[in-house]
């Protein structure tokens, strides 16, 4: 039965065309964006996971930047300690020379004063972004730390740090308690950064200063080792953060990225279906015109 009021064939063809057009629109969006899950409506669970992990990856990028900043701080401090070790070694050598009979202690003292000025300059200039890890005007016991990682757990998120709590032996200068400016208490005869020798100093007095230099060298070597360990830890963490970021990107891609070979094939098939649906709708609409021939 053919009706001029209701064209069932045309309605069926139109529904098919609408379905094909919707699928074609989704496929074109996937091809243009490269995503099969571009919004929550596509797949709420995958979209939620991907959005969270992308946010975490942004945080990891900030951690990577912070590690770079921390590495610069530690490198600056380590360089200052290493340079100071070289200068103190020179001071010790000058003191050893001063123990020889007949040597001009005044000239040696002039040389030592120049080296002491160099120590002060090294410590005061070992600052990165306004932070100096080898010289302080406050008390020891501060936390010397750098951001090391961003952690997500079932209970929430947190940021961890790496570093150490400073003592007097972790500063070259620290209000007369640092390695180089101790005020002569304990086993230290005199401040290594300010002492002087004179022509009247005995070998025993100079030997005491040599001992002070040796004590300072041991303390600086220990501080250098601590900073070196922190440097190594930062390098390892930086490498891990980089690999972790790549892994997260890869994981997110597996959840939401479109398979471009598949989408390309689907696009070609849907375009063909669209043409066929349009042709079917045209045929269905033309059937009502054929009824007119019955009345001629």
Look at residue 1 and tell me whether its pLDDT is greater than 70: no
- Both 274 and 245 in a single domain? no
Look at residue 295 and tell me whether its pLDDT is greater than 80: no
3-state secondary structure of 63: helix
Condensed to tens digits (0 to 9), the pLDDT of residues 163-203 reads: 888 888 899 999 888 999 988 776 678 889 999 999 888 88
- String of b and e for 286-295 (b: at least 16 CB within 10 Å)? eeeeeeeeee
- Both 146 and 55 in a single domain? yes
Residue 1 included in any domain: no
- String of b and e for 26-44 (b: at least 16 CB within 10 Å)? bbebbeeeebbbbeeeebe
Structural domain that includes position 29:
9-34+259-291
Residue 241 included in any domain: yes
CA distance 149 to 161: 7
Write down the pLDDT at residue 289.
67
Look at residue 141 and tell me whether its pLDDT is greater than 80: no
CA distance 245 to 133: 30
Overall domain count for the chain? 2
Residue with tokens 């990028």: 61
Residue 296 included in any domain: no
Residue 136 included in any domain: yes
Q: Which CATH number does the domain housing residue 127 bear?
A: 1.20.1330.10
pTM for the structure as a whole: 0.75
Residue 145 included in any domain: yes
Write down the pLDDT at residue 168.
85
Residue with tokens 């398979």: 259
Mean pLDDT, residues 43-64: 87
- Both 74 and 117 in a single domain? yes
- Both 162 and 271 in a single domain? no
Write down the pLDDT at residue 24.
79
Phi-psi sector, 223: left (phi>0), alpha (psi -120 to 50), beta: alpha
Write down the pLDDT at residue 4.
61
- Both 281 and 155 in a single domain? no
Write down the pLDDT at residue 254.
85
Helices marked H in the chain: 8-33, 44-98, 105-125, 203-256, 260-291
- Both 63 and 202 in a single domain? yes
- Both 226 and 106 in a single domain? yes
First to last CA, the chain: 19
6 band by pLDDT with thresholds 50, 70 and 90: low
Residue 3 included in any domain: no
Name the range with the highest mean pLDDT among 125-134, 135-144, 249-258. 125-134
Residue 126 included in any domain: yes
Look at residue 132 and tell me whether its pLDDT is greater than 70: yes
- Both 282 and 238 in a single domain? no
- Both 13 and 136 in a single domain? no
Condensed to tens digits (0 to 9), the pLDDT of residues 227-281 reads: 999 999 889 888 988 888 889 888 888 888 777 777 777 778 878 888 887 887 7
296 band by pLDDT with thresholds 50, 70 and 90: low
Condensed to tens digits (0 to 9), the pLDDT of residues 68-122 reads: 999 999 999 999 999 999 999 999 999 999 998 888 999 999 999 999 999 999 9
């Amino acid at each position: 039965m053919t009706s001029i009021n209701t064209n069932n064939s045309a309605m069926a063809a139109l529904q098919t065309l609408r379905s094909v057009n919707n699928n074609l629109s989704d496929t074109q969006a996937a091809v243009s964006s490269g995503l099969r899950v571009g919004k929550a409506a596509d797949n709420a669970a995958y979209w939620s996971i991907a959005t969270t992990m992308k946010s975490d990856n942004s945080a990891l990028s900030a951690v990577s930047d912070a590690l770079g900043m921390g590495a610069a701080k530690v490198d600056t401090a380590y360089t200052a300690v290493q340079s100071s070790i070289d200068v103190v070694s020179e001071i010790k050598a000058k003191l050893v020379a001063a123990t020889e009979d007949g040597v001009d202690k005044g000239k040696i003292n002039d040389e030592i004063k120049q080296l002491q000025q160099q120590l002060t300059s090294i410590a005061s200039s070992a600052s990165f972004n306004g932070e100096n890890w080898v010289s302080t005007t406050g008390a020891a016991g501060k936390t010397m730390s750098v951001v090391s990682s961003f952690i997500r757990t079932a209970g929430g998120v947190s940021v961890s740090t790496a570093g150490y709590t400073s003592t007097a032996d972790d500063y070259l200068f620290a209000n007369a308690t640092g390695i180089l400016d101790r005020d002569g208490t304990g086993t230290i005869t005199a401040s290594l950064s300010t002492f002087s020798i004179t022509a009247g100093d005995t070998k025993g007095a100079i030997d005491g200063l040599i001992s002070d230099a040796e004590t300072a060298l041991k303390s600086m070597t220990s501080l250098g080792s601590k900073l070196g360990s922190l440097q190594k830890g930062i390098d390892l963490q930086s490498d891990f953060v980089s690999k972790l970021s790549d892994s997260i990107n890869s994981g997110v891609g597996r959840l939401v990225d479109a398979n471009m070979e598949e989408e390309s094939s689907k696009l070609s098939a849907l375009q063909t279906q669209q043409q066929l649906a349009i042709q079917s709708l045209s045929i269905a609409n033309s059937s009502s015109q054929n009824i007119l021939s019955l009345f001629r």
